[in-house]
């Protein structure tokens, strides 16, 4: 009746070649603790349903924190650079280079944020201080970016975008690490990530509805996303975000305190090096993040090629609503088939849905028809991509558990910082590369711009075909991820035994 707890996955029951002798002698190897005794089958089959789930009220309070940043995150990362090109005259090529430079600067910040988040001690919780500071920096940077001076140049954009990214990094790294620590339950982690995703997309819906309401109220001349509409949105959202941040920081439960050893960079690198699930995970999300960065240019596709600028807020409102409604379904799918399989399926569906845009002809169809066809395709994309608000954070939390078992040190902040670093660089490279490709194909978006067939094909290739291929590749990679619900249950039992032995 006995056998290896992870017999079908060798690296879960023994170290890699070169480490076996140390492990056989009971010594720590490469910063990794010796393997724990094998677990009998009748003990392995214990599920996680008996583990305590996070109560609904603190879960809602935690999720509410992400509502504010989500209102502006898509605007800053996706729409604002394109509006700086369209309304303020900055060149696509300069913006592409600027975005790459910003990510190089930002690459240093993620690990610093992770270390600070793991190291800090405060009576309110080690994560909350950095979340509040990050929120303050984001709000200050949004003010400067949405209300630029008349003589704005690329250096102004870069400077305040860097300030915004510092704030976002401090907030996001601490927030996601905090979420990973709120529950050790495999299924509950999908629920926590899902609730957070719902709050995020409610912010997206509010952002999308705002230009429509402002237009109906006569405050703006169009329902399209413009610098003017985002300025109004900022002043409306500022007191709401401030109040939510204050209440959530004061009223939500803090995560558990972690070992100060987690601030050791050398130990972190050893932990990452000896973590095969992490490398499968990060490779998959690196590839998909490249595609996601390029799809940020869909705003230009809708506004310039399909000529749906005034319709775009309506479409994005529908996008956000469908995403919110789809997240509970993806939570159930993730818990039924496994988080990594659900994410792979969503990547495949998203990649195929994007290609349906090739069938839409803005010349042969009226603007209303184009809006209807484009809306159907966008809703398919929103359904599939909503899994991204459930699976990634929940999967990474399981990866952190594997690292905790191997090293005996909890490094949630540092791991989420490393993940944030890789994905932000990948998305920036994808987004910057997309801008450069559009410039290389000669695509123009200024007033009165005329694009030939070659430039139009360049736009379609850049925002549809290329990211679709990257999404499929990322989905195929994540299918190799080994930590299922059963294996994660074994990890939790081993971690508990390891902690009991300390």
- Counting residues of the chain whose pLDDT is more than 90, the rounded percentage is 15
> What's the mean per-residue pLDDT of the chain?
79
Give pLDDT, residue 122: 65
Q: Are 48 and 488 in contact (CB under 8 A)?
A: yes
Q: What is the pLDDT of residues 354-398, one digit of tens each?
A: 999 898 888 888 888 888 888 888 889 889 988 988 888 889 888
DSSP codes, 175-191: HHHHHHHS---HHHHHH
Range ranked top by mean pLDDT from 70-79, 253-262, 339-348: 339-348
Helix axes 312-337, 367-385, angle to 10 degrees: 30
**Comparing C-alpha atoms, which of 431, 433, 455 is closest to residue 443?**
455
CB < 8 Å & 24+ apart, contacts of 158-166: 158/98, 158/101, 158/102, 161/76, 161/98, 161/102, 162/102, 162/105, 162/106, 163/137, 164/76, 164/137, 164/138, 165/102, 165/105, 165/106, 165/109, 166/106, 166/109, 166/134, 166/137
* Burial of 452: CB neighbours in 10 Å, binned 0-12, 13-18, 19+: exposed
Q: Are 14 and 23 in contact (CB under 8 A)?
A: yes
The distance in angstroms from the start CA to the end CA of the chain is 29
Q: How confident is the model at residue 50 (pLDDT cuts 50, 70, 90)?
A: very low
Give pLDDT, residue 477: 96
Q: What's the rounded Cα separation, in Å, for the pair 483 and 488?
A: 6
**Is a pLDDT exceeding 60 seen at residue 27?**
no
Mean pLDDT to the nearest integer, 191-210:
84
More confident residue, 143 or 223: 143
**Is a pLDDT exceeding 90 seen at residue 346?**
yes
Mean pLDDT to the nearest integer, 112-125:
71
32 forms bridges with which residues in the sheet? 29
Cα 224 to its chain centre, rounded Å, is 26
More confident residue, 363 or 413: 363
More confident residue, 249 or 107: 249
Q: What is the pLDDT of residues 155-180, one digit of tens each?
A: 888 889 989 989 988 888 888 888 87
Q: Are 70 and 204 in contact (CB under 8 A)?
A: yes
**Is a pLDDT exceeding 80 seen at residue 299?**
no
**Is a pLDDT exceeding 50 seen at residue 6?**
no
Query: Can you give the pTM of this predicted structure?
Result: 0.68
Give pLDDT, residue 446: 66
336-346 burial code (b ≥16 CB/10 A, e <16): eebbbbbbbbb
Give pLDDT, residue 20: 36
Give pLDDT, residue 257: 56
> Half-sphere exposure (CA, 13 Å, Cβ side) for 419?
28
* Burial of 265: CB neighbours in 10 Å, binned 0-12, 13-18, 19+: exposed
> Half-sphere exposure (CA, 13 Å, Cβ side) for 297?
35
More confident residue, 336 or 267: 336
Ordered by where they begin, the domains of the chain are: 62-501 (1.20.1250.20)
DSSP codes, 130-193: HHHHHHHHHHHHHHHHHS--TT--HHHHHHHHHHHHHHHHHHHHHHHHHHHHS---HHHHHHHH
What is Dmax (Cα atoms) for the chain? 77
Give pLDDT, residue 15: 46
Give pLDDT, residue 11: 45
Q: Which of 20-34, 195-209, 254-268 has the lowest mean pLDDT?
A: 20-34
- Counting residues of the chain whose pLDDT is more than 70, the rounded percentage is 84
């Amino acid at each position: 009746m006995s056998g290896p707890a992870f017999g079908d996955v060798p690296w879960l029951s023994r170290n890699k070649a070169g480490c076996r002798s140390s492990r056989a002698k009971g010594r720590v190897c490469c910063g990794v603790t010796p393997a724990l005794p094998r677990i009998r089958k009748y003990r392995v089959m214990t599920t996680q349903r008996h583990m305590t789930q996070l109560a609904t009220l603190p879960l809602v309070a935690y999720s509410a924190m992400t509502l504010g940043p989500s209102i502006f995150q898509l605007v800053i990362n996706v729409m604002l650079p394109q509006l700086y090109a369209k309304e303020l005259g900055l060149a696509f090529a300069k913006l592409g280079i600027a975005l790459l430079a910003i990510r190089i600067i930002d690459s240093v910040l993620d690990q610093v944020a992770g270390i600070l988040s793991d190291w800090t001690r405060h009576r309110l919780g080690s994560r909350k201080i950095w979340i509040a500071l990050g929120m303050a920096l984001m709000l200050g940077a949004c003010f400067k970016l949405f209300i630029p001076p008349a003589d704005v140049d690329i250096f102004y954009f870069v400077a305040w975008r860097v300030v915004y990214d510092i704030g976002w990094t401090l907030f996001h790294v601490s927030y996601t690490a905090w979420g990973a620590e709120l529950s050790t339950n495999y299924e509950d982690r999908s629920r926590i990530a899902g609730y957070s995703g719902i709050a995020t997309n409610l912010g997206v819906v509010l952002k999308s509805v705002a230009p429509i309401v402002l237009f109906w109220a006569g405050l703006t001349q169009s329902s399209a996303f413009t610098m003017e509409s985002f300025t109004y949105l900022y002043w409306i959202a500022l007191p709401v975000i401030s109040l939510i941040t204050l209440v959530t920081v004061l009223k939500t439960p803090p995560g558990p305190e972690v070992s100060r050893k987690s601030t050791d960079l050398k130990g972190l690198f050893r932990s990452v090096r000896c973590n095969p699930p992490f490398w499968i995970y990060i490779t998959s999300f690196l590839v998909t993040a490249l595609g996601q960065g390029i799809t940020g240019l869909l705003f230009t596709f809708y506004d310039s090629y399909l000529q749906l600028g005034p319709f775009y807020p309506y479409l994005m409102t529908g996008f956000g609503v469908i995403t919110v409604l789809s997240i509970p379904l993806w939570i159930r799918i993730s818990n039924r088939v496994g988080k990594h399989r659900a994410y792979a399926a969503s990547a495949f569906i998203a990649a195929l849905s994007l290609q349906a845009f090739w069938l839409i002809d803005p010349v042969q169809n009226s603007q209303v028809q184009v809006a209807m066809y484009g809306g159907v395709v966008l809703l398919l994309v929103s359904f599939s991509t909503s899994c991204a608000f459930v699976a990634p954070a929940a999967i990474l939390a399981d990866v952190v558990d594997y690292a905790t078992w191997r090293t005996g040190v909890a490094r949630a902040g540092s791991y989420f910082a490393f993940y944030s670093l890789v994905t932000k660089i990948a998305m920036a490279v994808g987004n910057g590369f997309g801008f450069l490709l559009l410039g290389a194909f000669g695509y123009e978006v200024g007033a009165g711009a005329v694009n030939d067939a070659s430039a139009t094909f360049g736009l379609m290739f850049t925002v549809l075909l290329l990211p679709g291929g990257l999404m499929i590749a990322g989905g195929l990679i994540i299918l190799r991820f080994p930590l299922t619900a059963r294996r994660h249950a074994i990890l939790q039992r081993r971690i508990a035994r390891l902690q009991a032995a300390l």
